[in-house]
């Protein structure tokens, strides 16, 4: 484990990229020319998604506008995921559900879940940026939500057990969400997943939002052009796009993996896994050793809230070596939960 921690300490996220993330998290750089908003048309009148959307928007921090302007329809996916996590928790017969979101800046999703569930979901989030902690605490300590100031690989089981504010997470998490974090450190997914999985309960569900390489490099760049010119150009001027490409994306690309490589890494730890969302080169994956819990979470998800032209792979579908009988997504409804 010590070699892995040293590898992560030397990673781009904490070194070459550190200033960019600090400045952006503080709102001093990377601010979009207009604030992104979720497109309610993609929710098709679903009241639960609209309720989550409003609660989520009210507690944004300084990094959120940059992040949701950078990945097409990632904001709608955050809302869709949050609604599913909330449904999963409410349907559970064992409270509280414990949720860990690593690398999610000011932890807006985690704070929204803690608030709307009224404590049925207890959340932990982490970030190495003090600026993100400041946004997390902007309106005081959120009830049922906790923030760890540090990178994900510094949050060890022993640290959780020995820290009073974290000790209630010692038994592990029911749901863990890795949010575009691993790709900022290295392509060593097997070690990264193995390190974080120590925090997951035996039958918990681990989700990943990541950008993936394509076997065909031309296809990868076609999707990048669509992202940059069809979406990001609405929110950033050309100089900002070039700066981020030079400082972040060119380095991050070396740390991306293919979907097949990710599947192989997951198969070392999990029996079941699938893709639940696709947008260009981005996918959301979910894996578990409990087919029942994975099915319960997938069936709680609304259909992907994204225009068809950004979808290259229809979800849900099982990952190689992790196949199981997939349930359909829930139906959208104009009535509440």
Q: How far apart are CA 134 and CA 75, in angstroms?
A: 21
In angstroms, the Cα distances linking 76 to 44, 54, 132, 294 are 12, 12, 21, 21
Residue 247 has pLDDT above 70, yes or no: no
Confidence band for 94, pLDDT divided at 50, 70 and 90: confident
Q: Decide which of 1 and 167 is more confident.
A: 167
Q: What DSSP designation does 255 have?
A: G
Using left for φ > 0, alpha for ψ between -120 and 50, and beta otherwise, residue 209 falls in: beta
The yes/no answer on whether domain 2-318 falls in CATH 3.40.50.150 is yes
Give the pLDDT confidence score for residue 226 in this predicted structure.
96
Average pLDDT over every residue of 256-284: 98
CB-based contact 187:262 (threshold 8 Å): no
Instruction: With H, G, I as helix, E, B as strand and everything else as coil, classify residue 123.
Output: strand
pLDDT digits (tens, 9 = 90+) for 134-162: 999 998 899 999 999 999 999 999 999 99
Q: Of 53, 67, 60, nearest to 21 (Cα)? A: 67
Q: What percent of the chain has pLDDT over 70?
A: 98
Average pLDDT over every residue of 310-336: 92
pLDDT digits (tens, 9 = 90+) for 272-307: 999 999 999 999 999 999 999 999 999 999 999 999
Give the pLDDT confidence score for residue 41 in this predicted structure.
96
Give the pLDDT confidence score for residue 243 in this predicted structure.
77
Q: Please count the helices (runs of H) and the strands (runs of E) in the chain.
A: 14, 8
pLDDT digits (tens, 9 = 90+) for 214-237: 999 999 999 999 999 999 999 999
Give the pLDDT confidence score for residue 250 in this predicted structure.
65
Confidence band for 335, pLDDT divided at 50, 70 and 90: low
Give the pLDDT confidence score for residue 251 in this predicted structure.
66
Q: Decide which of 325 and 250 is more confident.
A: 325
Residue 111 has pLDDT above 70, yes or no: yes
pLDDT digits (tens, 9 = 90+) for 3-15: 999 999 999 999 9
Give the pLDDT confidence score for residue 241 in this predicted structure.
83
Residue 245 has pLDDT above 80, yes or no: no
Residue with tokens 């450190």: 185
Residue 337 has pLDDT above 80, yes or no: no
Name the residue ranges covered by the structural domains of the chain: 2-318
CB-based contact 277:304 (threshold 8 Å): yes
Give the pLDDT confidence score for residue 280 in this predicted structure.
98
> Which of 49-53, 112-116, 140-144 has the weakest average pLDDT?
140-144
Q: Of 191, 200, 192, 193, nearest to 289 (Cα)? A: 200
């Amino acid at each position: 484990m010590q070699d892995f921690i040293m590898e992560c300490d030397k990673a781009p996220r904490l070194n070459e990229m550190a200033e960019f993330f600090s400045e952006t998290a503080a709102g001093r750089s990377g601010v979009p020319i207009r604030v992104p908003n979720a497109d309610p048309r993609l929710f098709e009148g679903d009241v639960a998604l609209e309720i989550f959307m409003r609660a989520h928007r009210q507690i944004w921090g300084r990094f959120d506008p940059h992040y949701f302007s950078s990945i097409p329809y990632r904001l709608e996916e955050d809302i869709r995921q949050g609604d599913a996590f909330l449904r999963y928790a409410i349907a559970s017969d064992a409270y509280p559900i414990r949720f860990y979101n690593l690398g999610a800046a000011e932890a807006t999703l985690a704070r929204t879940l803690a608030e709307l569930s009224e404590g049925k979901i207890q959340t932990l989030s982490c970030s190495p940026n003090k600026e993100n902690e400041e946004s997390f605490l902007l309106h005081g300590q959120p009830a049922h939500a906790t923030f760890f100031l540090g990178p994900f690989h510094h949050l060890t089981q022993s640290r959780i057990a020995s820290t009073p504010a974290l000790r209630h997470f010692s038994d592990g998490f029911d749901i863990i969400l890795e949010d575009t974090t691993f790709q900022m450190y290295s392509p060593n997914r097997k070690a990264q997943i193995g390190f974080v999985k120590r925090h997951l309960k035996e039958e918990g569900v681990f989700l990943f939002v990541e950008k993936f390489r394509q076997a065909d490099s031309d296809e990868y760049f076609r999707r990048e052009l669509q992202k940059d010119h069809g979406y990001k150009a609405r929110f950033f001027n050309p100089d900002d796009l070039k700066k981020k490409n030079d400082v972040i994306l060119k380095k991050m690309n070396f740390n991306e993996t293919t979907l097949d490589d990710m599947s192989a890494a997951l198969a070392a730890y999990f029996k079941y896994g699938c893709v639940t969302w696709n947008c260009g080169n981005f996918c959301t994956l979910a894996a578990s050793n409990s087919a029942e819990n994975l099915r319960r979470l997938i069936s709680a998800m609304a259909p992907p809230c994204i225009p068809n032209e950004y979808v290259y792979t229809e979800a849900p579908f099982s990952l190689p070596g992790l196949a199981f009988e997939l349930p359909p997504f829930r139906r959208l409804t104009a009535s509440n939960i």
